[in-house]
Amino acid sequence: MCRGLAALPSISIERPSAEDTQGGQLFEKLLADKRGVAAFRAFLRSEFSEENIDFWLACEDYKNTKTSSKLVFKAQKIYDEFVKVQAPKEVNLDSLTRKIVTRNLANPNNSCFQVAQERTYTLMEKDSFPRFLKSNLSFNLLKYL
């Protein structure tokens, strides 16, 4: 049964200013919250850049991998899916970063993708996140972060 908009409580929420998001605190909160990640992923999908959050999450999972055999397998999977040129979900990396990751694959460890993950994080934080904050997708979410 729909009561209409008049029955909804009035909530006044202001979008955060640039000062509120400095230092990445709000972006960090967003990435630590499942609802935040889902909303941000939906926004990135609308901008055709969903591969960035997928790569960042894959790297987070990779960093928590304990066995060396799983590291090798996951490293190759992440490389094939996100890093190599013409990968299905290729992330935007400069050639030096791509070289570093490729070199790291020879001896995978938990920080194999660190440089690339940091670059992707910065790209999302500085480029996509400010646009996300202006989007309708972020409006309801901000009440909960």
Q: What CATH code is carried by the domain that includes residue 57?
A: 1.10.167.10
Q: Does residue 71 sit within a domain?
A: yes
pTM of the predicted model as reported, rounded to 2 decimal places: 0.81
Question: 24: which DSSP letter?
Answer: G
How many domains would you assign to the chain? 1
Contact status, residue 42 vs residue 49, Cβ threshold 8 Å = no
Residue 107 has phi, psi (to 5 degrees) of -145, 75
Q: Does residue 16 sit within a domain?
A: no
| 66 CB-side CA count, 13 A | 0
The residue range of the domain holding 54 is 24-141
* Residue with the two structure tokens 């309708």: 136
143 band by pLDDT with thresholds 50, 70 and 90 = low
Cβ neighbours, 10 Å, residue 37:
15
Tens of pLDDT, residue by residue over 43-100, are: 999 999 999 999 999 999 999 999 989 999 999 999 999 999 999 999 999 999 999 9
